[in-house]
């Protein structure tokens, strides 16, 4: 895409009257605890934590949650384990990351802070 998050934020900042950015979008590998801690170290206080993360590998997307091939026949143990690995990764990145981020940022959230997730 030509309009990346960074470009959108630059446009938003250019159009605002404020000298401070209205939004911050920061990169973080949410499957890496050290990266979550690195992100957390950049803040002293937070009013909003927005979790906008979703991931599923091509294997998970192609075969769906049940992983049944077009013939609807049961697959091999190897197929089942590959599908389990693909969905474990998808849930780790898409679901558990919200828990991990909320846990690490909770001490610096204001009393009226909100945690939201987008899907």
Instruction: Return the closest-CA partner of residue 97 out of 53, 45, 66, 59.
Output: 53
Q: What is the pTM assigned to this prediction?
A: 0.68
State residue 18's pLDDT score.
Answer: 59
Q: CB within 8 A of 101, min separation 6: which ones? A: 30, 36, 49, 51
Report pLDDT digits (tens) over 86-99: 888 888 988 999 99
Q: Is the pLDDT of residue 108 over 70?
A: yes
> The tokens 């075969």 sit on which residue?
63
CB-based contact 16:32 (threshold 8 Å): no
């Amino acid at each position: 895409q030509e309009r990346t998050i960074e470009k959108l934020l630059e446009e938003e900042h250019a159009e605002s009257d404020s000298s401070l950015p209205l939004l911050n979008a920061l990169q973080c590998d949410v499957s890496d605890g050290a990266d979550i801690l690195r992100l957390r170290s950049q803040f002293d206080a937070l009013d909003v934590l927005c979790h906008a993360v979703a991931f599923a590998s091509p294997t998970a997307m192609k075969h769906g949650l049940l992983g049944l091939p077009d013939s609807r026949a049961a697959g091999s143990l190897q197929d089942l384990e590959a599908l389990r690995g693909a969905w474990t990764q998808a849930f780790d990145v898409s679901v558990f990351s919200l828990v991990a981020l909320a846990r690490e940022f909770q001490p610096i959230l204001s009393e009226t802070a909100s945690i939201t997730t987008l899907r």
